[in-house]
């Protein structure tokens, strides 16, 4: 049996809700009121997306070589005053 692993991003959204998406699966987005709800919604959305790809005999994207970084900049670094 083959396993699929995907990176999912969860961000705060309007009205104290959350938006979740999977960068490797174009169009795979969902929303939820809590972190737990968005995690469940993401799982369901990913499974549905993969099932659609399999039904259409399309390849399942993989993120084998993905590198994710988060960078922080001080106000001084991005200031227009040099």
- Structure confidence at residue 81 (pLDDT): 63
Residue 32 lies in a domain: yes
- Residue 1, in any domain of the structure: no
Q: How far is CA 42 from CA 23, 37, 47, 73, 78, in A?
A: 12, 9, 9, 30, 35
CA distances from 18 to 11, 13, 25, 36, 64 (A): 6, 5, 18, 10, 27
- C-alpha to C-alpha distance for 54 and 59, rounded to whole angstroms: 7
Whether 2 is in a domain gets the answer no
Domain count, the chain: 1
The CA distance from 17 to 76, in Å, is 32
Residue 35's domain is classified under what CATH number? Answer: 3.30.160.250
Residue 3 lies in a domain: no
Range of the structural domain that residue 59 is part of = 9-78
Q: Check residue 4 and give its pLDDT.
A: 87
Q: Tens digits of per-residue pLDDT, 25-81?
A: 999 999 999 999 999 999 999 999 999 999 999 999 988 777 788 899 898 888 876
28: in domain: yes
């Amino acid at each position: 049996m083959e396993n699929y692993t995907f990176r999912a991003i969860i961000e705060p959204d309007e009205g104290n809700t959350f938006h979740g998406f999977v960068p490797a699966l174009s169009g795979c987005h969902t929303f939820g009121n809590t972190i737990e709800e968005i995690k469940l919604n993401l799982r369901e959305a990913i499974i549905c997306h993969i099932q659609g790809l399999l039904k259409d005999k399309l390849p399942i994207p993989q993120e084998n070589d993905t590198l994710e970084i988060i960078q922080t900049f001080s106000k001084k670094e991005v200031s227009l005053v040099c």
